[in-house]
Each structure stands twice: as C-alpha cells, then as structure tokens.
Amino acid sequence: MNGHPAPCLCYASLAWFGGVAACPGFRERFTAELRALVPDCADLNVFMPQDPAVFTWEGMSGFGASYSYSRLAVTRQQYNESGGAAGVRQYL
C-alpha cells in the first residue's frame, strides 16, 4: 500500500443499510467475501443497524429536525441563483 495507511483505514467503518441488508446471513457473507479482497493491514468492521430498511430515513429525519439543518440548508432561491456553489458556501 505504498506505506500509506489510508487504504487500510477505509475498511474500518463500513455500514450496510436498505432492505437487501436485512436478508438473513447478508452481513456474514458480505464480510467473508470482502475480507478475502482487502489488504491484511485493514481492520474490517461492518455495521448493520437493527432495522436497515429505515435506518437512513431515521437519521435524516433527526437531522431535518435539528438546529444544524437550519444552518446548513440551501433554499430553492439560493440554489436557483448560484447552483451548486450555494451549497459549497453554506457548508464551508
């Protein structure tokens, strides 16, 4: 890995969500198949929420109700005036 630890770090925190992730044995099979492909230096951690089908919705619902959302949201008017640059300005 050219002495750079970053490629090994990318496997330390993987998350699977969505309906397919709820299939019985999915996490175990995915982990076993991926382990064979990742560098030996990599810690492999696959996170699977209790209900992967709604995990993303729950997270974004909480974000949408938070104070952070009101600070980071880009209005339609801001987007129409500046396009993607409106988001860049808002997040930086």
The predicted pLDDT at position 32 comes to 93
Q: What is the pLDDT of residue 90?
A: 67
More confident: 1 or 48:
48
DSSP-derived secondary structure for 34-87: HHTTS-TT----EE--SSTTTHHHHHHHHHHTSHHHHHH---HHHHHHHTTHHH
Q: How buried is residue 67: exposed, middle or buried, by Cβ count under 10 Å (0-12/13-18/19+)?
A: exposed
The answer to whether the beta carbons of residues 4 and 39 sit under 8 Å apart is: no
Q: What is the pLDDT of residues 26-80, one digit of tens each?
A: 999 999 999 998 888 888 888 999 999 999 999 999 999 999 888 888 899 999 9
Band of pLDDT at residue 6, cut at 50, 70 and 90:
low
- Please say if the pLDDT value at position 18 is more than 60: yes
